[in-house]
Amino acid sequence: MTIRAMNWMQVEAYLTHDDRCVLPLGSVEQHGYLSLAVDETLAERVAQDAAAPLGIPVFPALPYGLAPYFAGYPGSMTLRVDTYVRVIRELLDGLRRSGFRRVLIVNGHGGNQPAAALAIEYGMDHPEMRVRFHNWWAAPKTMAAVTAVDPIGTHASWMENFPWTRLEGVDAPEGAKQSVDMEMLKLLPPDAVRRYLGDGNCGGAYAHPDEAMLRIWEVAVDETRALLEGPWDA
C-alpha cells in the first residue's frame, strides 16, 4: 500500500484500525555508473516490498539528503544539516497530526544519520509517538548477506547495483576497483573528492550476478518487515 495509491478518505479509514506508516529517506548523488537516485530508489522499494503484505502505507521517499562531499559531481544534491533536520521534524509533525503513531523511517543513505538522532529526540518530545530509524542496508542480517557474497562492498559498487538501479544503455566496467581510504575521503573538499574517486565507486566489484543480489534483497525486505511487525513497546 502506498500513499500514491490512496486518497485522504482511505487514509482516514486506515487510521481507525492501524497507526503504522513508513517514511523512506533517500539522496540524489553520484553513484558511479548507476542512477543518481539509487538511495531514494532502494529505500522506497525495500519499504514498499516490506510493508505490502501488512497493508501498511508507505509515503514517497524524501529524495534529497546530506551529501556535501559529492558536490563536485554534476547532478548531486545536498541540503544543509539544519535544513534537513527541520524538514524531517516537520514531516513527523505532519504524520502525528494525521493520526499516525508508529513510524518506521527507512533510510537509504549513510549521510542522513542526523535524522536518526532526531527520531530519538522526537519520541522524547512526543511520548505518544514511536519512531524507529532503520538503515536498511546496514542492518545485521542484511549486512551478513552482503558479506557472504563479497566482503568488499562500498558506495557505488556492486552492493548498490540492483536491476532497478541500473541505467538503460550504461554498462559498468568489469572487474573491481581498489578500495579508497575512507578516512582520507572525509577530509577532502568536493573537487578533491572527485579527483580522488574518479568514477565514484569507493572500492570493490562493479557488479555481481542478479541471483546473489536478489538473495540479499529478500533478506533486507524480511528484516525491514520484522521491524514493522514489532513489538513497538516494551
Per-residue pLDDT reduced to its tens digit, 43-72: 999 999 999 999 999 999 999 999 999 999
200, pLDDT greater than 80? yes
106, pLDDT greater than 90? yes
Quick count: other Cβ atoms within 10 Å of Cβ 85? 17
Strands of the sheet containing 20-25, edge to edge, are 20-25, 102-107, 130-135
* Short-list 220, 176, 217, 183, CA closest to 199: 176
Q: How far apart are CA 114 and CA 32, in angstroms?
A: 25
Grid cell in block for residue 4: 500514491
- Residue 25: φ, ψ to 5°: -120, 135
**Residue 232 falls inside a structural domain:** no
99: left (phi over 0), alpha (psi -120 to 50) or beta: left
**Residue 215 falls inside a structural domain:** yes
108, pLDDT greater than 90? yes
Residue 186 has a pLDDT of 86
**Residue 107 falls inside a structural domain:** yes
Residue 66 has a pLDDT of 98
Q: How far apart are CA 47 and CA 90, in angstroms?
A: 21
Q: How far apart are CA 231 and CA 131, in angstroms?
A: 12
Q: Tell me the residue range of the domain where 220 lies.
A: 3-227
**Residue 126 falls inside a structural domain:** yes
**Residue 178 falls inside a structural domain:** yes
pLDDT digits (tens, 9 = 90+) for 163-198: 999 999 999 999 999 999 989 888 999 999 999 999
Here the CATH number for the domain that contains residue 110 is 3.40.50.10310
Q: How far apart are CA 51 and CA 230, in angstroms?
A: 12
**Residue 233 falls inside a structural domain:** no
Mean pLDDT of 92-98: 98
**Residue 34 falls inside a structural domain:** yes
Compute CA distances 29 → 26, 41, 71, 133, whole Å.
10, 12, 8, 21
Q: How far apart are CA 12 and CA 98, in angstroms?
A: 8
**Residue 234 falls inside a structural domain:** no
pLDDT digits (tens, 9 = 90+) for 203-233: 999 999 999 999 999 999 999 999 999 999 8
Number of domains in the chain: 1
Q: How far apart are CA 213 and CA 211, in angstroms?
A: 6
Task: Supply the pTM of this predicted model.
Answer: 0.95
Residue 58 has a pLDDT of 98
